[in-house]
Amino acid sequence: MREIERIESPYLLFLGNAQDVIMAKTAFGLVEWRPSDCAGQLRLPGCGVDIGLPDMSIGEAAQSGVNTLVIGFAPPGGALPEAYVVPLIQALDAGLDIASGLHVRLADNPALAEAAARTGRRLIDVRHPRENFAVATGARRTGKRLLTVGTDCAVGKKFTALAIHSALLRRGVAATFRATGQTGILIDGHGVAMDAVVSDFIAGAAEAQSPAAAVDHWDIIEGQGSLMHPAFAAVSLGVLHGFQPDLFIVCHEPTRKTMTAVSAPLPNIAEIIELTERLGRATSPDIRCAGLSINTANLDDAAGRTLIEDLQSQFNLPCVDPIRTGVEPIVEAFL
């Protein structure tokens, strides 16, 4: 299992001028799952997001013992806006390392590379694999696997997987969380960002990340994208084939009409169940849906709970919102 270069806590989470929760989901994920490591937030003028941490300047963060500035946002295209280079250099000059999950490599920016060399601080790119992967074999492996899949991006796949993993550990069940994106990697300290792997080797990278295990051991796998997303389906399919899940959970945000970053209509839950089962059988012949995880954040409590009950009845599957209800009904059912 690939382990990232150690990131020294505590962290200052850099939000730039992020305008919404989706853009800042890396920061929100760290606050939710690594709260003791998160000391403060750095927001530039015009930032529309507040993750609930104290606002800190770089100087204040350094004086309070912060060790690493973590880029907690994902700008369009995963590029680093040029306007952000100056505060990042200031962080290096103040003695902080910088950790990033962006598509671009920090060291490819000459000004950042020079500042890191001059200060002796580290530029840590968690998204970019440092190893080569083989082409997938499709061979079946021992152990049990559960994958979260989505009707879209940013609907709760990572959160659901982490919640199920935590629930299994509380029960004393042998389980490992398998991170497949930059936020999951930052939270867990292990994993491979599948969207940074050359397409021919995505399934092979998944096989390498989830090797044969004891027959009663569960790998709980963070899904990526959506099988019906015009931009990101290739990664979703490689993850599905390579990890060979026995079970999958469909994650859905019910108030969306179109898929993230495109104008394509949002697929419905039934379409995703059917497609995941049909394509998943290529490497996991007995794959089946084990439940639904509904992100009801944009609904009030009564409407959210009513929707969960209706979907549970409609699909005859355990249905939860990991925030409102917890994931125990799903865990209880598949165990």
Asked if 101 and 68 count as a contact pair (C-beta separation under 8 A), the reply is: no
- Gap between the Cα atoms of 270 and 274, Å rounded: 6
**Phi, then psi, of 248 in degrees rounded to 5:** -140, 155
The answer to whether 11-125 and 144-334 have equal CATH topology is yes
Beta bridge partners of 190: 3
Q: DSSP string spanning 45-79? A: TT-----SSPB--HHHHHHTT--EEEE----GGG-
- 3-class SS of residue 80: coil
Model confidence band, residue 288 (pLDDT cutoffs 50, 70, 90): very high
CB 269 within 8 A of CB 315: yes
Say what the pLDDT of residue 2 is: 66
Quote the pTM value: 0.93
Biggest alpha carbon–alpha carbon distance for the chain? 62
**Dihedral sign of CA atoms 235, 74, 4, 161 in order:** negative
Domain ranges in the chain are 11-125, 144-334
23 has a pLDDT exceeding 90 = no
pLDDT for position 80: 87
Q: Say which CATH class 144-334 falls into.
A: alpha beta
What confidence tier does 328 reach under pLDDT thresholds 50, 70, 90? very high
Fold of 11-125: Rossmann fold (3.40.50)
Q: Could you count the other beta carbons within 10 Å of the beta carbon of residue 77?
A: 10
pLDDT tens profile 159-211 = 999 999 999 999 999 999 999 999 999 999 999 999 999 999 999 999 999 99
Burial of 134 (0-12, 13-18, 19+ CB in 10 A): exposed
pLDDT digits (tens, 9 = 90+) for 204-213: 999 999 999 9
